[in-house]
């Protein structure tokens, strides 16, 4: 694999001393199209492509629009040249080792190819597919077609928009434009991937099927576009059964792009602070034995982790402040009715009610809760992606990568998380890194022990949540005991007590019950009891994984265990976000507390 600085992924190091890293999330446009475009149509095709690329850059200014191309003759190179003209980063993904690929090109074409490779930020060479050989690729059309299928799958899996300069026909050619578009829509690549490889995402409305189709002709007999399509027309093309072609980007895709743009913009805004406070997954990593692409995943993780902590603190503050205001307001009401009926008390009650509503309004307006959940889920997905890449863990499926395992069959809006992961893991997904040092690093830093890694984390968090839950129960028991004591006192000696004594007893009973109710409400908002079970479950999962990894008699078995461990972690994170979404900070919550 040949690679230079990687502008299509995250820039993993400061450009120069004193300058913060770039945490912008690239918006990757991959190219598929015909080699034999009609010369007369080229000016209009270029205009359509330019319009698409500039439109994305204008609509999502928080991101860096980048182009990914295999640099075949025709469409691939047309878009590559335009990207460079527009100052957009270009990443080249070759379907096979470069020396084999260059056999496709004439002498003139080879010079253009070399120029574009030199201008690209990255040049990646995909390895030969299983069972293929250099001799077969040189001598057999089918063996070569398998490599074109592999690059088509890779481009689809690591882009956000597939730009297709296509006549709209599927001629059944393995690795051809029609097959690549079909794979992008339906997760199906006949004769390359087995039917069992189709993922659950192929049955859902997810973010991965977005195609921008520029209809073009082919410079051959019968090269006109498919019936119903007009040359030089362009539209967004998805698998939507009701409106597959539209002039505007479909709403579900637009929301995904908006959220990813929002994350990218915030990460950039706090780049200098993130640089100072980032908790890098690469800390303690062996110097040179891990793949360089891990730095891209780590870059995205550091941004997501820092922003998740930022919004977690805001959510915790909003919950504490809101419940405290509710407690003071209700206690003030009891004081007004039972002790001191003064205008000052009315003012205090009103102030606390407005404060509770105001704090909640700020949290809702800033989407603190959603951002905390989304950014934490992204960070945990990137953590799994990072350690899988470090250990050389793959899906065992030629069409699936780490991001395909994250949040399957979940809310469409959460697709923006995969949107980030698919570009962060680009370099690591070219070929797995199978080193003993990587496995040892993952065993030590990811699984860990009682002091470090996820084992240590889940043990500490489980103990912390247990203490918090015990405090809630203790407050409840004290409240019940106090209330029962007060009721007994009123039952037996109440008739002989003067109002001077009876009123404070009733007041105390009301305040205690109020305190119990507010604490229970706070505990429910934080899902204290549910999270204890989740932390304990994950601790057992990692403990069992540690034991099985230690006992495994081969690196292949260790990677299989790590794959199962990552799948379990991703599924638990999906459950975690669903648990907390049900307890979100909403406008109704502020009114209830008020």
Q: Which of 189, 219, 248 is the last residue of a domain?
A: 248
DSSP H helices, 163-270, are: 177-186, 251-269
pLDDT of 126 higher than 90: yes
Question: What pLDDT was estimated at residue 1?
Answer: 40
> What pLDDT digit, counting tens, does each position of 404-414 carry?
777 664 566 77
Per-residue confidence (pLDDT) for residue 390, from 0 to 100: 94
The pLDDT of residue 119: 96
Would residue 258 count as lying in a domain? no
Are 457 and 572 members of one domain? yes
**Cβ neighbours of residue 463 under 8 Å, at least 6 residues apart?**
none
Statement to judge: residues 216 and 345 lie in one domain: no
pLDDT at position 467 is 83
The pLDDT value given to residue 358: 83
Would residue 267 count as lying in a domain? no
Give the span between the Cα atoms of 531 and 577, in whole angstroms: 11
What three-state secondary structure class fits 329?
A: helix
Query: DSSP characters for 478-520?
Result: HHHHHHHHHHHHHHHHGGGS-HHHHHHHHHHHHHHHHHHHHHH
Would the pLDDT of 500 be above 70?
no
Does 304 lie in the same domain as 242? no
| Mean pLDDT score, 306-328 | 85
Please report the pLDDT score of residue 591 as a whole number.
46
Tokens representing 133? 């050989």
pLDDT tens digits, 510-545: 777 777 777 777 777 666 666 778 888 888 999 999
Looking at mean pLDDT, say which of 95-104, 390-399, 472-481 comes out highest.
Answer: 95-104
Task: Say if CB 319 and CB 526 are below 8 A apart.
Answer: yes
Best CA proximity match to 562, nearest among 432, 398, 428, 387: 387
Convert the pLDDT of each residue in 262-274 to its tens digit. 999 999 999 999 9
Q: Is the pLDDT score of 8 beyond 70?
A: no
The total number of structural domains that make up the chain = 2
Percent of all residues in the chain with a pLDDT value above 90, rounded to a whole number:
51
Last residue of a domain, one of 181, 216, 248: 248
Q: Which CATH number belongs to the domain containing residue 69 in this structure?
A: 3.40.50.450
Q: Are residues 81 and 202 in the same domain?
A: yes
Residue 17 counted as domain residue: no
For residue 559, give the nearest of 429, 408, 444, 442 by alpha carbon. Answer: 442
Q: Can you give the pLDDT at residue 145?
A: 93
236 and 339 in a single domain? The answer is no
Q: Residue written as tokens 């690929």?
A: 101
Instruction: Give the pLDDT of residue 332.
Output: 73
Residue 12 has pLDDT above 70, yes or no: no
Grade residue 5 by pLDDT with cuts at 50, 70 and 90.
very low
> Does 476 fall in a domain?
yes
Mean pLDDT of the chain: 85
pLDDT reported for residue 374: 92
Neighbours of 75 (CB within 10 A): 26
Taking 60 as the threshold, does the pLDDT of residue 566 lie above it? yes
Residue 300 CA, distance from chain mean position = 10
One domain, residues 222 and 314: no
Q: Does residue 420 sit within a domain?
A: no
At residue 208, the pLDDT reads 80
Q: Span 198-207, mean pLDDT?
A: 55
Structure confidence at residue 133 (pLDDT): 92
pLDDT value at 550 more than 50 = yes
Instruction: Taking residues 120-140, report their average pLDDT.
Output: 92
Least confident of 158-162, 195-199, 291-295, 471-475: 195-199
What is residue 386's predicted lDDT score, i.e. its pLDDT? 96
Contacts within 8 Å (CB) and 24+ apart, 465-474: 465/528, 465/531, 465/532, 465/535, 466/532, 468/523, 468/526, 468/528, 469/523, 469/528, 469/529, 469/532, 472/519, 472/520, 472/523, 472/528
- Domain of residue 466: give its range: 294-393+432-593
- Do 327 and 220 lie in one domain? The reply is no
Cβ-Cβ contacts under 8 Å for 201 (sequence gap 6 or more): 187, 208, 404, 408, 409
The rounded distance, in Å, linking the Cα atoms of 371 and 270 is 15
pLDDT (0 to 100) of residue 293: 92
pLDDT at 396: 79
Averaged over 201-213, what is the pLDDT? Answer: 73
Query: Could you tell me the pLDDT band of residue 508, with boundaries at 50, 70 and 90?
Result: confident
| C-alpha–C-alpha distance, residues 209 and 553, integer Å | 41
Cβ neighbours of residue 8 under 8 Å, at least 6 residues apart? 26, 28, 66, 68, 89, 90, 91, 121, 122, 423, 426
β strands within 105-186, DSSP E:
122-125, 161-166
Question: 218 with 331, same domain?
Answer: no
Residues 378 and 444 occupy one common structural domain: yes
pLDDT of the residue at 557: 96
Whether the pLDDT of residue 587 is over 50: the answer is no
pLDDT tens-digit series, residues 29-66? 999 999 999 999 999 999 999 999 999 999 999 999 99
For the cut 70, the answer to whether the pLDDT of residue 181 exceeds it is: yes
Q: Is residue 533 in a domain? A: yes
Query: pTM higher than 0.85, yes or no?
Result: yes
* Torsion angle, alpha carbons of 374, 375, 380, 381, to 10: 70
Q: For 416-442, what is the mean pLDDT?
A: 92
Angle at 316 between CA 314 and CA 320, to 5 degrees: 120
Q: Are residues 212 and 333 in the same domain?
A: no
**Which tokens hold the place of 276?**
């100072």
Burial of 17 (0-12, 13-18, 19+ CB in 10 A): exposed
pLDDT category of residue 427 using cuts at 50, 70 and 90: very high
Point out the domain boundary residue: 233, 248, 263: 248
Q: Confidence band (pLDDT; 50, 70, 90) for 10?
A: low
| Position 443 in a domain | yes
Q: Identify whether 266 is part of a domain.
A: no
Distances in Å between the Cα of 288 and the Cα atoms of 126, 128, 284, 291, 390 are 22, 25, 12, 8, 12
| Nearest CA-CA partner of 10 in 296, 229, 338 | 296
Is residue 242 domain-shared with residue 361, that is, in the same domain? no
Task: Look at residue 397 and tell me whether its pLDDT is greater than 70.
Answer: yes
User: Do residues 330 and 459 share a domain?
Assistant: yes
| 127: Cα separation from own chain's centroid | 27
State the residue for tokens 């015909």.
34
pLDDT-based confidence at 9, cuts 50/70/90?
low
Round to whole Å and give the CA distance between 126 and 383. 24
Q: Phi and psi (nearest 5°) for 89?
A: -60, 145
Other residues' Cβ atoms within 10 Å of the Cβ of residue 508 = 16
Complete edge-to-edge strand list for the sheet that includes strand 64-69: 122-125, 90-94, 64-69, 26-33, 161-166, 211-215, 234-237, 245-246
């Amino acid at each position: 694999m040949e690679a230079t600085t990687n502008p299509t992924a995250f820039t993993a190091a400061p450009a120069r001393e004193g300058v913060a890293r770039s945490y912008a999330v690239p918006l990757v446009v991959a190219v598929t199209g015909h080699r034999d475009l009609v010369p007369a149509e080229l000016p209009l095709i270029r205009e359509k492509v330019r319009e698409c690329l500039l439109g994305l850059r204008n609509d999502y200014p928080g991101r860096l629009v980048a182009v990914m191309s295999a640099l075949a003759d025709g469409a691939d190179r047309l878009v590559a040249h335009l990207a460079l003209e527009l100052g957009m980063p270009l990443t080249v993904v070759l379907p096979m080792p470069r020396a084999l690929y260059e056999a496709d090109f004439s002498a003139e074409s080879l010079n253009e190819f070399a120029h574009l490779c030199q201008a690209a930020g990255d040049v990646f060479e995909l390895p030969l597919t299983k069972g293929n050989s250099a001799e077969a690729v040189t001598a057999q059309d089918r063996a070569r077609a398998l490599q074109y299928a592999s690059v088509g799958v890779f481009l689809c899996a690591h882009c956000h928009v597939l730009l297709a300069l296509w006549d709209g026909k599927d001629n059944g050619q393995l690795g051809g434009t029609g097959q690549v578009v079909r794979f992008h829509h339906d997760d199906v690549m006949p004769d390359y991937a087995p039917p069992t490889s189709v993922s659950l995402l192929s049955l859902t409305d997810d973010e991965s099927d977005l195609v921008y189709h520029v209809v073009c002709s082919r410079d051959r007999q019968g090269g006109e576009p498919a019936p119903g399509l007009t040359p030089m027309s362009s539209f967004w093309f998805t698998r939507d059964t009701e409106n597959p072609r539209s002039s505007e980007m479909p709403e579900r895709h637009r929301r995904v792009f908006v959220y990813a743009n929002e994350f990218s913009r915030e990460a950039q805004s706090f780049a200098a602070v993130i640089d100072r406070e980032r908790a890098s997954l690469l800390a303690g990593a062996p110097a040179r034995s891990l793949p360089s692409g891990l730095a891209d995943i780590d870059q995205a993780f550091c941004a997501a982790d820092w922003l998740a902590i930022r919004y977690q603190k805001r959510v915790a503050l909003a919950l504490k402040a809101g419940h405290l205001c509710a407690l003071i307001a209700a206690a003030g009401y009891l004081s007004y009715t039972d002790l001191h009926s003064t205008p000052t008390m009315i003012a205090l009650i009103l102030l606390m009610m407005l404060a509770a509503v105001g704090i909640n309004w700020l949290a809702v307006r800033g989407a603190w809760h959603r951002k905390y959940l989304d950014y934490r889920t992204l960070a945990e997905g990137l953590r799994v992606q990072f350690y899988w890449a470090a250990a050389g863990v793959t899906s065992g499926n030629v069409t699936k990568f780490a991001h395909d395992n994250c949040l399957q069959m979940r809310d469409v809006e959460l697709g923006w998380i995969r949107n980030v992961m698919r570009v962060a893991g680009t370099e690591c997904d070219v070929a797995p890194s199978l080193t003993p040092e990587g496995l040892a690093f993952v065993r030590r830093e990811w699984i860990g022990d009682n002091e470090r890694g996820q084992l240590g984390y889940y043990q500490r968090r489980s103990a912390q949540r247990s203490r918090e839950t015990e405090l809630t129960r203790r407050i409840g028991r004290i409240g019940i005991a106090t209330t029962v004591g007060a009721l007994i006192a009123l039952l037996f000696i109440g008739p002989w007590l003067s109002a001077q004594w009876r009123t404070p007893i009733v007041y105390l009973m009301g305040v205690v019950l109020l305190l119990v109710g507010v604490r229970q409400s706070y505990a429910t908002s934080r899902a204290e009891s549910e999270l204890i079970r989740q932390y304990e479950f994950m601790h057992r999962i990692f403990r069992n994984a540690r034991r099985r990894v230690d006992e495994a008699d081969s690196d292949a078995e260790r990677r299989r265990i790590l794959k199962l461990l990552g799948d379990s972690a991703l599924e638990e994170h999906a459950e975690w976000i669903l648990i907390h979404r049900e307890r979100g900070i909403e406008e109704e919550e502020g009114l209830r507390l008020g």
